[in-house]
Amino acid sequence: MISKTRTGNFQGPKLIRAAALLQTVYASIEIIDCFAAVLMALGLLRNLYPVMLFPEIQDLFDHQSVWLIPLFLFYTTLRAFSAYGLWKNRLWGFWMALCVSAATLMMAPFLFPFTAVEMLLNAGLLIVLLIGYFGKTPIHEIN
């Protein structure tokens, strides 16, 4: 049975702070994406994103960018709140960061090649979160 208290010298708090910093930077970049989507929808900014793999997605970016605003706001809000939760050392922040990063990994292939780096970033973030949280906790204690 796994004990509820953790023992040992692992780098959990440092890794969680690193994940919080990464989420904060990521949320800041996504805020810029939100503004870009609004400016594209208003016709004040042309599409600066690279050509997408799927033509349907490319059409959204080129001609119907207003539909990107809810998507960008959704991910930006989740990232910002999860970063806040991680900075405050809240378990809900950990789970929210895990969920938004996993959701991004599932959605990212549809926006490829634009999201290639994003996929690596989210995979790294998931690894940092999991190692930071679980550290050296054994799967099963040997008696």
pLDDT (0 to 100) of residue 76: 93
Residue pair 79/100 in contact by the 8 Å Cβ criterion:
yes
Look at the alpha carbons of 130, 133, 134, 135 in this order and tell me if their dihedral is positive or negative: positive
Tens of pLDDT, residue by residue over 42-80, are 889 888 777 777 788 888 888 888 888 898 899 999 999
pLDDT (0 to 100) of residue 11: 52
Q: Does pLDDT of 1 surpass 70? A: no
- C-alpha distances out from residue 60 to 56, 64, 66, 122, Å: 7, 5, 8, 24
pLDDT (0 to 100) of residue 12: 66
Residue 10: which pLDDT band, with cuts at 50, 70 and 90? very low
Mean pLDDT across the stretch 10-19?
78
